[in-house]
Amino acid sequence: MLILRTASALLFCSLALLALSAAPAFADTAAQRGGGFALQGGEAIYKGICQGCHMADAKGASGAGAYPALAGNPKLATASYVARIVLKGQKGMPALGDNLSDSQVADVVNYVRSHFGNRFKGEIKPADIPALR
């Protein structure tokens, strides 16, 4: 079962990276950046992009790669840290900053910080995102 889950996650991440590499370049200003994904709302963005690697329960996975758990992760306490990871990537996670609007970044960051057993205080706002890009 774990092998099937890991293989599925790896396949999804590979396909997502392939799609990202084929995407056209987006404008470099927040006013022009509409996002490459049509998903709206933190839950939809998480389910459409993030859960392929971090899993539906946000408990992460390991196997061909290591996908950290977001559930109960104390590193999510600082919203700007999470936003920077979403925008710029880290280790095996691709940078999504060119593909997500400021609102989408804020929505998904606030979602993971307030779901999966996480109850971190404070929300990041779309107006906070340009300074982190």
pLDDT digits (tens, 9 = 90+) for 77-133: 999 999 999 999 999 899 999 999 999 999 999 999 999 999 999 999 999 999 999
pLDDT, residue 63, reads 83
Specify the pLDDT at position 30.
Answer: 42
pLDDT band at 64 (very low <50, low <70, confident <90, very high): confident
- CB 57 within 8 Å of CB 68: no
The single-letter code of the amino acid at 121 is: K
- Collapsing DSSP to helix, strand or coil, 102 comes out as helix
- Amino acid 65: pLDDT: 83
Instruction: Check: CB of residue 22 under 8 Å from CB of residue 89.
Output: no
Q: Which amino acid would we find at residue 114?
A: S
25: left (phi over 0), alpha (psi -120 to 50) or beta: beta
CB proximity list for 72: less than 8 A, separation 6 or greater = 116, 117, 118
What confidence tier does 25 reach under pLDDT thresholds 50, 70, 90? Answer: very low
Phi, psi at residue 79, to the nearest 5°?
Answer: -60, -40
- For the segment 12-21, the average pLDDT, to the nearest whole number, is 48
Name the architecture of domain 2-23+36-132.
Answer: Orthogonal Bundle (1.10)
